[in-house]
Structure 1
């Protein structure tokens, strides 16, 4: 069954498509399978467009609105939507979302009054409840997310990484996998550049409104299949005018003017009002003296700051190690001598070598290896302040380079370590590996060994890293007459012996490896 709703009228505009004055229809059946992206700067009419779509389809399909500002709660009086206040636990929101799908009730999730991180967590919990509903309740539903860049940001912001990940994961599930569960994602954003690309890329229908920044105009033109020189047209669009494209709207770009709506946002449109006329003395009294109605009112409680995010596992392990060292100090550790520091460094290096003996350790993240390292240090009761994560990264890069004790104690190797400290973290280990081979006169490491030094199994990644380092004049590569690779380090004045880049063999797994944090 084909069900169409009228979004407005086709208007005359800078793009050709459709006869001006005819109805601009949106196919709901097609929308359920292809999703919709709305983009426009503040004041371009995005909320008006969403309200028009929701009002026209309210009697046809179930709806859920993720409303960060509480603008859509007015749909409840006219169309029977149930307003869900998000000021409750995440578990409650998941259970409410499951019942919403079960009983096919249209709802508005009001996130008004919550800080940014709480909004992301609550929206993620609610979307997760809709997504994880039982198969018997997979009825068609429009899921409208206003200000989607808040819930699927393209880059990290002031919120914690955990909140961003769960919110972005929920939005990705909605747009990528929601179709098979009957969920049709409709997302609106002020700026395409601020919206995660993997979320925006899943939409097949687009309504692009007024925008001014070059990067947003260029992305809008690309999504609509228009030439770059036509992108300037988005600056000239009036409020409530959009360019539509997609299987549910039109097969080619069409300018449309959104029709009127029956409800309005609580905020409304702000109009200029003349300032009151009053003497300056009266104005000062109005500001600095409490009125009669204020004296009987209890002063408002100060707004509490949001609780800080929970500490990470790495922080907890480091805190436990510091607490143990402070509670039971070693009797002879009152004054750290050169001998005790050398013994401690040797013990730390021994722990690192034990971890790296496992061939799979090269492919585990630095965070997992750091947890393993802290636990092993506690088991061996290595005293002193635990290594910080940056210090662990530097020591790990040196350990992965495979330098022997005699070489590590030389002044030449200190030069290599000092130079590597100024490089990006993802190439420090590779640089030290090449430096060790050059210092020892060993053949140039093959691509597989270089890949292991950066935590990868891909020789292609090794080749890309070497090419990147060469583009930055960090290394210089050349081939000898036999086709073997030689890598020179100009800042150190060293170069490796010729080596075959394809001569790497994966080391056999050790039977007695004991990675405390290994998976599986």
Structure 2
């Protein structure tokens, strides 16, 4: 079914129609400065198509609420609802094919953007069986799809821009035909404006807007001056739903009006009595004492009381401190799974503070103490020679080296690869073999594999050797 909406008259007085069926597939962009007649044009379109197709209006200024009286549109007063309630109402409107006006008047710009996004997303996310054709008219579209970030919250801008992009780019398959109006094309996001195939360009004065409007209308740039000369209520139209060549449209009359009256000149009242305007007010009932002078800096310093000092922690003996320190280290070693030293050090400092250990060892000292704990060594002093040799190795190799040194000094069996892997913080036995190979290349250990499959490791600098694993078994 083809329905034409009469927009008004052309230069010759003939009627200019807008093919509603074509509009549902191709969308419409309206541009014009404030006072050029954009809202009047949208009202003409809405009144001409009311009762033929579902209409949904995003109205930031409350200009279109009067459609309710004449055509039965449901008015949604956004300030009275939460975002979730607005989304629920949007889903119901889509389901029941009801025409509605979402009035955002009274909300801050951020809240207008969030509310419009929730409402449009509800229309867009409707199930497939509810994809009926609907005109979605967005007045002042530059508020909801700004070309650049402004003084609004980033989350509100992103949500609103995403909803407008969905409407104009992906809404056609869902039956949603976007009709957007803006004061300036330069303020409107290009990916939103570019999806419209029909244009109605009203009066504008800035060169950048005139040139962009002329480009959209397929006019040469020297013809862009014609856009500046348009009168109020005149628009240049182009598109498959309007005309194949730019046509001048003088928008016709409308049945409904806006709640906001246009400013008109009124005669000023007579000259007011100067004595009445300049007459001082009644004297105060009582004198108000002036505020005391601000205190001097020295007085403020003396007035500030220092917070009470914290009680000092009890002093630990060297033996108690060493025992508590070893307890913290053993607890960390038991749960070690290869975490990096800085992360372990944070847990170590917390454990020291909880245990009243002060001062807390530094990170470099912690690395050495923790390597000894992993190797099962509690007494640092008696291992000074082995530690001096281990200093030639990377820090992460000190723990497995000290485990080998401990077994060698005690004459115990050489640690298995799995045990060395746990101490080294890895699950790869291949890394353990490369570790031992690196130690042997540096000359700190000598590995001997016997014919029985056993292995022993010697520390040539200390003349210590582990027992063979075969003999230990």
Give the alignment's TM-score, normalised by structure 1: 0.54
Cα distance between partner residues in 2 of 1:37 and 1:78: 25
Does 2:51 correspond to 1:51? Answer: no
Select 1:159's aligned residue among 148, 152, 172: 152
Matched, 1:4 2:4: yes
Q: Cα distance 1:167–1:25, how it changes in 2: closer, same or farther (>3 A)? A: same
Whether 1:116 aligns to 2:99 is: no
Equivalent position of 1:21 in the other structure: 13
5 Å matches for 1:262-341? 262-281=255-274, 284=277
Structure 2 residue aligned with 1:133: 126
Q: 1:413-466, CA deviations, whole angstroms, 9 ceiling, x for partnerless residues? A: xxxxxxxxxxxxxxxxxxxxxxxxxxxxxxxxxxxxxxxxxxxxxxxxxxxxxx
Indicate whether 1:100 and 2:66 are aligned. Answer: no
Q: How far apart are the structure 2 equivalents of 1:28 and 1:199?
A: 21
After TM superposition, the runs of 4+ consecutive aligned structure 1 residues lying more than 2 A away are 278-289, 376-383
Structure 1 residues 47, 137: CA separation in 2 closer, same or farther (over 3 Å shift)?
Answer: same
Distance 2:269 2:221 in 1: 50
1:99 match: secondary structure: helix
Q: 1:200 to 1:277 in 2, by over 3 A?
A: same
Partner of 2:70: 78
Q: 1:169 aligns with which of 157, 162, 166?
A: 162
Deviation per residue, 1:66-120 (Å, 9 max, x gap): 0000011111111111110112211111110010011111100000010110000
Counterpart position of 1:223: 216
Does residue 193 of the first structure (1) align with residue 186 of the second (2)? yes
2-side partners of 1:8 and 1:286: how far apart? 57
Q: Of 22, 30, 39, which aligns to 1:30?
A: 22
2-side partners of 1:254 and 1:100: how far apart?
A: 36
Deviation at 1:284, TM superposition (A): 2.4
Alignment of 1:494-505 (within 5 A): none
Task: Name stretches of at least 5 consecutive residues in structure 1 with no aligned partner.
Answer: 12-19, 290-330, 332-375, 384-510, 513-520
> 2: distance between equivalents of 1:71 and 1:287?
43
Query: Which of 232, 240, 243 pairs up with 1:239?
Result: 232
SS of structure 2 residue aligned to 1:72:
coil
Secondary structure, counterpart of 1:47 in structure 2: helix
Cα shift at 1:134: 1.3
User: What SS is found at the alignment partner of 1:243?
Assistant: strand
* 2:82 is the alignment partner of 1:89: yes
SS in structure 2 of the partner of residue 73 of structure 1: coil
Q: Deviations over 1:120-139 (max 9, x none)?
A: 00000000001011111111
Alpha-carbon distance in 2 for matches of 1:288, 1:235:
52
Equivalent residue for 2:306?
none
Query: 1 CA distance for matches of 2:222 and 2:198?
Result: 22
Q: Distance in 1 between matches of 2:258 and 2:180?
A: 18
CA distance in 2, matches of 1:377, 1:226: 67
Closer, same or farther: CA 6–287 of 1 in aligned 2, 3 Å: farther
Instruction: Please state how far the C-alpha of 1:381 moved relative to its aligned partner.
Output: 3.6
Which protein is bigger by CA-based radius of gyration? 2
Q: Note the C-alpha offset of 1:269.
A: 1.7
Alpha-carbon distance between aligned partners in 1 of 2:344 and 2:62, rounded to the nearest angstrom = 53
Matched residue SS, 2:177:
strand
1:268, distance to aligned residue in structure 2 (A): 2.2
- 3-state SS of 1:154 partner: coil
CA distance in structure 1 between the aligned counterparts of 2:280 and 2:96, rounded to whole angstroms: 52
Q: Secondary structure at the match of 2:6?
A: strand
Distance in 2 (alpha carbons) for counterparts of 1:139 and 1:379: 61
Query: Structure 2 vs 1, CA of residues 377 and 81 (structure 1 numbering), >3 Å: closer, same or farther?
Result: farther
Structure-1 separation of matches of 2:249 and 2:210: 18
- Quote how far apart the aligned CAs of 1:160 are: 1.4
1:144 aligns with 2:127: no
CA shift, 1:279, in A, is 2.3
Using the TM superposition, give the Cα deviation of residue 380 of structure 1 relative to its aligned residue in structure 2, in angstroms: 6.0
CA distance in 2, matches of 1:104, 1:281: 62
The 5 A counterparts of 1:482-497 are none
1:53, 1:106 → 2: CA distance? 14
Q: Report the CA distance shift for 1:272/1:161 in structure 2 as closer, same or farther (over 3 A).
A: same
Q: Which residue of 1 aligns with 2:253?
A: 260
Partner-residue secondary structure (3-state), 2:231: coil
Q: Partner of 2:58 in structure 1?
A: 66
Give, in angstroms, the shift of residue 280 of structure 1: 2.9
* SS in structure 2 of the partner of residue 269 of structure 1: coil
In 2, distance between residues paired with 1:255 and 1:183? 27
Measured in 1, the distance between the counterparts of 2:175 and 2:280 equals: 55
- Rounded to whole Å, the distance in 2 between the matches of 1:380 and 1:39 is 63
Gap change, CA 1:377 and 1:64, over 3 Å in 2: farther
SS at match of 1:276: coil
What whole-Å deviation, never above 9, does each CA across 1:134-162 have from its counterpart, x for those lacking one?
11111110000000000000000001111
Query: Residue 178 of structure 1: CA displacement?
Result: 0.4
Do the aligned partners of residues 246 and 287 (structure 1) sit closer, same or farther apart at CA in structure 2, a change above 3 Å counting?
A: farther
